Amino acid sequence: MFTVQQIKHMINTNSLHRFYNSRAWRRLSHEVMREQHNECQMCRECGIYSKAVVVHHVNYVRKRPDLAYSKTYIDCEGRECKQLVALCHDCHEKIHERGAYKKINKNKFVNEEKW
């Protein structure tokens, strides 16, 4: 298991893949998947069943390396919330606004000339 300092160093050197490929993270993510029944938690909230394929950090590792191995966190109102959430591919893409879910800035100026 990596220390917070080691994770911060990985962030600074752009080598966070070492964290995600570590034995400690793989064990923890498998445990979270098992606890959440390999079911996407966002789809579940909508009454839909989808198989989860990834464990998502609610508070991103880059912003909160101290919560990298934590299953829960305390929010600003003092409530305990899930830090690690099982998600399907589509829901994970929505959260990170990637692929088909990428937000387009409609207020951005577009040059009428296309040359």
Structural domain range at position 55: 4-101
Quote the pLDDT of residue 5.
Answer: 98
SS3 42: helix
Q: What is the pLDDT of residues 49-104, one digit of tens each?
A: 999 999 999 999 999 999 999 999 999 999 999 999 999 999 999 998 887 777 66
* CA 36 distance to own-chain centroid: 15
**What local confidence, expressed as pLDDT, does residue 112 receive?**
59
Instruction: Look at residue 115 and tell me if it is in a domain.
Output: no
Residue 69: CB atoms within 10 A of its CB come to 19
108 domain residue, yes or no: no
Please tell me the pTM assigned to this model. Answer: 0.83
Number of domains forming the structure of the chain: 1
What does pLDDT average to over the chain? Answer: 91
**Residue 20 belongs to some domain of the structure:** yes
